[in-house]
Structure 1
Amino acid sequence: MWAPLLALALSACATAGPDYRPPEKSAATAPAAQGAFLSAQDSRFSNAELPDYWWRLYDDPRLDALVEQALAANTDLRVADANLSAAQAVLREAEAERTIGTTLSGGATLARPSGTAESLPGVVGYDLGLSASYPLDLNGRIRRAIEASAADVETVAAARDYVRVSVAAATARAYAQVCAANYSLAVNRRVVALQRETLNATQRLFKGGRGTAFDVSRAQAAVDASEAGLPAFAAQRQAGLYLLATLLGRAPADYPKDVEDCAALPMLQAAMPVGDGAALIRRRPDIRQAERGIAADTARVGVATADLYPQIGIGGSLGLAGPLRSAGSGASFGMSLGPLLSWSFPNRPVVRARIAQADAQVQADLARFDGTVLEALRQAETALESYRRHADQTAALDRARDSAGVSAAQAGKLFRFGRGDFLSLLDAQRSLANAEASAAAARVQLVQDQIAIFLALGGGWS
């Protein structure tokens, strides 16, 4: 009777389910995905690989220190590290399934034959046993479960790496926000100082009989309007400082005081290294996370398939049993050794349905992997294109600011020498104020675009 069962068990000796292979025909392997970025055909970019620690390209010691502190203390990263530890514990649990299992049992009984007088003592018996078993895993169920758990660990590790990428970028953005607020504040204060000079000149002319009260009030209104915008920059700076504190795992009141006076925008010293599509696919942690998810669920197909076959192991037991008075005698000792066959005669349609579910999950994972790759490429191209266009816009706004400065200076001279009217002077200064503000905002946006590129390229982990 055992022959058919053993034959069936031996037929499952090959590991159940398909072996995992990286997807060969996918969005990641398409030539268009592997090549150079369309939006990086510009002297502002280079084909060099993006360094892991991209923030060092700014050559700013304060930024370097902030990012390192954030990567060491950020609460989201602590959660990601704990998730990784949990996944590693699950893997150890799966690996422990293929070790020897032992069971120790013991008991005592008091037996009295029926009809015996109640005053007579009964017979005290005992039972001690030790059994051990080792799963042969002929169908590879445990092996596939370990493969799945190992891939899950790598999936969680990739998720942790993506958190690192996000934390590094968020820290750089918060630092840039503080510096940008101070930079914009300084630019607008220069505009206010220029307008105040005009106000003082207008007041002197009015006192000398060469101006009107209307001119003075208009000059005062221009100063007041420009000064009204200054508190907003101070609020932006403080918001950036509070955000930095949170990213560093601190209370808002414990924000980094040494960053408070940052006034210069972070500047790249050379062309931005962006690599190509193939480098992005290798580097982006979310792409690796999606690929490892395929591997894990492919192994789970094997776990489901193994339920079609019996579970076989080797086991043995040692035991002592009998009346307590004969304890230790040879008659009380017993042992057994032999194969243990466990098969619940599964409902095969149910098992087949579970296999089909696992197969469908793999197909969904493949689609998700392609979507992740395409989205990563889209984000990179969009970030690069945005930076290119904003760089061109910044250059144009710088020229407009310079022209507005020349115009305002000329209008001031004409007004002081009585050859120009006050309204023309105010219009020129208003144009200068708008041009200064627009040029400053464009430079701030340019720094944010650079950080968006580094984020899209997946830099920040090694």
Structure 2
Amino acid sequence: MGKLNLMSKAKLSALAMALTLAGCASSQHSEQASTLKNSFFAEQNYAAELAQNDANSHWWQSYNSAQLDELVATALQSNRNLAAAQLRFKAAIQQLGYEEAQYWPQGGLQAAATRESVAGDIDSTARFGANLTWQLDLFGRISALIQAAEANSLQVQQQKHQLAAEVVSGVTRSFFEWQGNQLKRQIVNQQIAAILASIDVLQARVDEGFASKLDVNRTYAQLNQQKALLPKIETALYQNKATLAVLLGQTPEQIQLSFEENLLSNNLIQPVTLVQPEKAVSLRPEISIAHYQLMQQSALSDAADAALYPDISISGFAGLLNPVGSQLSKNDDAWSVTPQLNWSILSWPALKAQAKAQSSLAEAALAEYENTIVSVIAESQTALVSMKQSQTLHEFADKRLFYAEQAHDQAKAMYEEGQMPFLDLLSARQDALVAQEASVDAKIAYMLAKISTYKAFSGGWSRTLVQ
């Protein structure tokens, strides 16, 4: 387990990984089936490897909040999108079974009776038995459709991993935003209480002729400036709960949260740690989804090419002809075997156009795959930069708050000694208020940057959440 603190190393590793994936994407169709299976088993092995490291696969538990742990567990069980993804995966596996069944003879029981009259002659015929049709996959169309179904099932499985990562990151992010907004509300209320107390003292001084009405009006302006922050904070708090409600499959009124006053401060020094970060990026669900989409479109392109050639099949029948009541004779027994070759020569232009269209879709899937690689790498690098800059911002915000509070204390002492007018004290207090609010915002931003970093490197831990 290594800390993400070497930016240049991460960039070089990401670049090497991108070149490796690009080379994999440019392989021929004949190699894609083995690439598909190898990548799948590599993902499973990596998931097993991560399962041995709970600190990484369940990174949100390192924040030591039982409330957050419960929210994440509930979301993974109750999220509607995850439930839908599970059903789509089940359907994809069933569709794969259907395609694999096409390898074998198809058919069933048949019963038919005909009675017709021609020029007054009545003729009756009956037929009862079993028929079958076996299409020979000489040109690989059925095999290609099976490969496409396999790729689709793996793609849907990766979508489950992607959704799980989004659910966990979304719950953690909304939870910390709610905690941060609660902290901001607490600080604003404390500031309002302090200003109200100073107004009482100031009003008494005005009544005694030691202060002017201007000082009172400026203080009231400062008071209402703080009060104006509360509606925005309340709206943000409700939005946080509404987001959590969607992720948990509940309503905002059902979400019950408690304020953990020191949660942000206690977790700011918690480092972001990952197992094999380069590999975690290369196995991001988004890349895997694009990879399997490419495999699916390539297989469908092969199937469209195979449709240009003849369909060769064998059909057969075994049963009884013209059975009469319960009197059956040997002449009633019947069977037949019919080899067939169907070649849609007249449909050649249409089939050729379809094959070209599918080939274009495969090329488009390749371009999307390569773009996904570039986007994921950019996102991971941006997350690292953002986390580093957010930490720097937090450090500067804390220093600003320290000096602003020192200045306010000094201004208060000088005012009480008669060495400073009240308006200068108001300015110093305003600076301290703004600095305190900026410090809280910086804490929230730094915490969210950490969560975004885990999300950007979700190729490992997201595979341990759902089967």
Query: The TM-score by the shorter chain falls in which range?
Result: 0.7 to 0.9
- Asked if the contact 1:408–1:425 (Cα under 8 Å) also holds between the matched residues in 2, the reply is yes
C-alpha separation in 2, matches of 1:22 and 1:138? 18
1:437–1:111 CA distance, 2 compared to 1 (3 A): closer
Q: Which runs of 5+ in 2 are unaligned?
A: 1-27, 36-52
Rate the CA distance shift 1:174–1:405 in 2: closer, same or farther, 3 A.
same
User: Is the contact between residue 73 and residue 249 of structure 1 (CA under 8 Å) also seen in structure 2?
Assistant: yes
Q: CA deviation at 1:83?
A: 2.3
2:321 maps to what in 1? 321
Alignment check: 8 A CA contact 1:133 1:316 kept:
yes
CA distance in 2, matches of 1:358, 1:123: 51
Greater shift after overlay, 297-306 or 420-429? 297-306
Q: What is the root-mean-square deviation of aligned Cα atoms in Å?
A: 2.9
Which of 57, 62, 65 is the aligned partner of 1:60?
65
Aligned length: 417
Alpha-carbon deviation of 1:223?
Answer: 2.5
Give 1:398 deviation, angstroms.
0.8
Tell me the equivalent position of 2:440: 440
In 2, distance between residues paired with 1:57 and 1:446? 16
Alignment of 1:51-450 (within 5 A): 51-110=56-115, 125-255=125-255, 257=256, 259-266=257-264, 267=267, 270-274=270-274, 278-322=278-322, 324=324, 327-337=327-337, 339-345=339-345, 347-450=347-450
Cα distance in 2 for partners of 1:278, 1:357 equals: 36
SS at 2:334 equivalent: strand
Distance 1:402 1:320, change over 3 A: same
* Alpha-carbon distance between aligned partners in 2 of 1:220 and 1:380, rounded to the nearest angstrom: 47
SS in 1 for 2:138: coil
- Aligned mates of 2:117, 2:439 — CA distance in 1: 102
1:164 CA displacement: 1.6
In structure 2, C-alpha distance between the alignment counterparts of 1:296 and 1:146, rounded to whole Å: 10
Cα offset, 1:182, TM superposition: 0.8
Alpha-carbon separation, structure 2, partners of 1:76 and 1:20:
34
Note the C-alpha offset of 1:368: 1.1
Rounded to whole Å, the distance in 1 between the matches of 2:323 and 2:418 is 128
TM-score, normalization by structure 2: 0.80
Residue 37 of structure 1: aligned partner: none
2:22 maps to 1:19:
no
Secondary structure of 1:51's counterpart equals: helix
TM score, norm. by length of structure 1:
0.81
CA distance in 1, matches of 2:33, 2:110: 48
SS in 1 for 2:238: helix
What percent of counterpart residues are identical? Answer: 24
Most deviating of 198-207 and 407-416: 198-207
How many Å apart are 1:210 and its aligned residue?
Answer: 3.0
Shift of 1:203: 3.1
Q: State which drifts further: 292-301 or 107-116.
A: 107-116
CA separation of 1:322 and 1:212: change in aligned 2, threshold 3 A: closer
Mapped to 2, the partners of 1:254 and 1:323 lie a distance apart of: 70
Aligned-partner Cα distance in 2 for 1:229–1:191: 11
| Equivalent pair of 1:107/1:127 in contact (CA under 8 Å) | yes
Task: Give 1:377 deviation, angstroms.
Answer: 0.9
Deviations 1:191-218 (Å, cap 9, x if unpaired)? 3333334323323433444333333333
Q: Map 1:33-48; keep pairs closer than 5 Å.
A: none
Shift of 1:326: 8.7
Distance 1:444 1:18 in 2: 48
Aligned partner letter, 1:177: E
Which letter maps to 2:76? L
The change in CA–CA distance for 1:301 and 1:199 in structure 2 (over 3 A counts) is: same
Q: Quote the offset at 1:435 in angstroms.
A: 0.9
Q: CA deviation at 1:140?
A: 2.2
Partners of 2:163 and 2:71 in 1: CA distance: 16
Judging changes above 3 Å, is the alpha-carbon distance between structure 1 residues 410 and 135 closer, same or farther for their aligned structure 2 residues?
Answer: same
Kept after mapping to 2: 8 A contact 1:241/1:260? no
Paired letter, 1:88 = I
SS in 2 for 1:312: strand
Larger mean Cα displacement after TM superposition, 201-210 or 175-184 = 201-210
Structure 2 CA distance for aligned equivalents of residues 50 and 278 of structure 1: 18
Which position in structure 1 is the counterpart of 2:462?
A: 460
**Residue 50 of structure 1, CA deviation:** 8.8
Compare 368-377 and 239-248 and name the one that shifted more.
239-248
Deviates more, 1:241-250 or 1:429-438: 241-250
* Alignment partners' CA distance in 1, 2:420 and 2:199: 16
Instruction: State the AA in 2 paired with 1:95.
Output: E
**Deviation of the 1:347 alpha carbon:** 4.5
Assess if the C-alpha contact under 8 Å between 1:145 and 1:299 holds in 2: yes
**2:168 and 2:325 mapped to 1: Cα distance?**
74
Deviation at 1:382? Answer: 1.4
Secondary structure at 1:210 match in 2 = coil
- State the Cα distance separating 1:165 from its structure 2 match: 1.5
**Is the Cα–Cα contact under 8 Å of residues 394 and 443 in structure 1 kept in the other structure?**
yes
